[in-house]
Amino acid sequence: MIRVLSSEGVIHFREHDQTTAPIRPDSYIPGAIAYDADLPGGQYFYQTYVHKHYTIFKSTLMPARDTTLRVEYPAPFLGFRIMVENNLRYRLNEKQYYLMQGQVNFIVAPNVESELYLSKGQVYQVFDLQIDAQLLQRLSNNDEINQLLNKVGDSQTWSLQDGPGFASARALDCMTDLVDNPGNETYAIDLIEQVIEARTMKRQHRQVTERQVESLFRVRALIKEQIVLKQHLRDWARIAGMNITYFKEMFKAVFGITPYHYLLYERIREAKRVMKFYPHLTLSEVATACGFSNYNNMRRAFVVMETMTLSKWQRLSDITGIVMLLELFQ
């Protein structure tokens, strides 16, 4: 159903063979169908996973020369694109867009006729989520999303907030969760809600360059990798090449959260994972394993980041697990 063309003509994708294909993505989506094309003009790979309420597309594009890819998808599209790696200029139907790493563009379109402008030697990773309109209606109490839903069936292309904007750190993590668990509708709903919140919340607008975004993503990765270690704001700012005040402002502008709260968020996120998979550990052991100096610090951080007590979360988590187990055996 998707047709892709380059200056060399129609690109004929083949079903991807993980054992023999020369193209290796950073990760495979469980249960997805994958396709690749290894051409003189570049290597192109995409995966698609179809759920009854949404469809996931994840693409890796590696052009060997400056090129323009034309993508045709002759069906209505409601959903969003997140730029996972690199920055992308593209045309979608009658509109031109520029999507920086970490930005999201939420659109409704009667069909997709798109041109992607790619540069030689670059690696582009793109995530697209097509959403069933009924699912979005069920989720949204937001006037701006409802206005977008009212455009379904229109002959023009419409964008939320008139174009791309930065997703939040939470939205990016939700995207990763969904890619790892594509059949879990709860993860899809979490991602959609986080994207809606990120694109409709009032956030201070700051001009940011591609290089600054790259530096901020490098710091974000460092925080995630070293949550058990003691980390300092001045070191993050130095790595980003900014003074401390400017770094704090730019980090929040891109990720929707301050650097310190992002560290707490990742520690709490890891604590929830540890409690789920290692229930035999004491809460003090969980706290130490996730970078907190003691249980009380983790407990206080949990209330700040989750707006509920740790004990309440544990009760809700137990109930959710039982419900999911019952649904599995229905």
Q: What is the pLDDT of residue 318?
A: 54
Average pLDDT over residues 119-148: 91
**Which pLDDT value is given to residue 321?**
46
In percent, the amount of the chain with pLDDT more than 70 equals: 95
pLDDT category, 204, cuts 50, 70, 90? low
What letter would DSSP give residue 162? G
Measured CA distances, 85 to 82, 299, 313 (Å)? 9, 35, 33
Q: What is the mean pLDDT of residues 37-60?
A: 95
> Which pLDDT value is given to residue 253?
92
Q: Which residues contact 190 (CB under 8 A, 6 or more apart)?
A: 174, 177, 178
pLDDT of the residue at 322? 36
pLDDT at 324: 41
In the numeric block, the tokens 């994207």 are attached to 195
Helix, strand, or coil (residue 120): coil
Angle subtended at Cα 63 by Cα 58 and Cα 69, rounded to the nearest 5 degrees: 70
The angle subtended at Cα 23 by Cα 20 and Cα 26, nearest 5°, is 115
- Say how far apart CA 287 and CA 304 lie, in whole Å: 15
Place of tokens 């058990």: 228
- What's the chain's length in residues? 330
Residue 330 has pLDDT above 50, yes or no: no
Report the greatest alpha carbon distance in the chain. Answer: 62
Domains assigned to the chain: 3-200 (2.60.120.10), 219-327 (1.10.10.60)
Residue 48 has pLDDT above 80, yes or no: yes
Could you read off the pLDDT of 88-120 as tens digits, one per residue?
999 999 899 999 999 999 999 999 999 999 999
> What per-residue confidence (pLDDT) applies to 165?
92
Sort 244 into a burial class: Cβ within 10 Å, 0-12 / 13-18 / 19+.
middle
What pLDDT does residue 259 have? 95
Q: What is residue 305's predicted lDDT score, i.e. its pLDDT? A: 83
For the residues 224-246, what does the mean pLDDT come to? Answer: 93
Give the start-end residues of each E strand in 152-212.
Answer: 158-159, 165-166
Average pLDDT of the chain?
Answer: 90
Give the tens place of pLDDT for each residue, 270-305.
998 898 888 898 889 999 999 998 989 998 888 888
> Rounded distance, CA 264 to CA 267, Å?
5
